[in-house]
């Protein structure tokens, strides 16, 4: 990996983190509308789908961060 590739990986990590935050905020907004009683089926489905979207972006962020961390730990000239 060269310096340019490392910079792209870092930018990808930042973008993945920002995407995760956006999805986590959407989930938080949905969960804030919960009541003491059970949610209607449609609302439960919305929460489930949103939590899935959040999990996907979280997974992408963690995977990207792991690559970035390895590159930083080893020195990017020796990783990838």
pLDDT band at 6 (very low <50, low <70, confident <90, very high): very high
pTM of the model: 0.85
Are 53 and 23 spatial neighbours (Cβ–Cβ below 8 Å)? yes
Look at residue 80 in the predicted model and tell me its pLDDT: 58
How far apart are the C-alpha atoms of 80 and 78, rounded to whole Å?
Answer: 7
pLDDT in tens, 28-74: 999 998 889 998 999 999 999 999 999 999 999 999 999 999 998 88
The pLDDT of residue 49 is 98
**pLDDT for res 79:** 61
Candidates 23, 24, 30, 33; CA nearest to 46 is: 30
């Amino acid at each position: 990996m060269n310096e340019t590739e490392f910079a792209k990986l870092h930018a990808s990590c930042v973008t993945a983190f920002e995407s995760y935050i956006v999805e986590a905020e959407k989930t938080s907004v949905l969960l804030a509308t919960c009541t003491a009683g059970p949610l209607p089926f449609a609302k439960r489905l919305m929460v489930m789908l949103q939590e899935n979207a959040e999990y996907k972006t979280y997974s992408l962020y963690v995977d990207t961060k792991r690559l970035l961390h390895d590159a930083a730990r080893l020195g990017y000239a020796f990783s990838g």
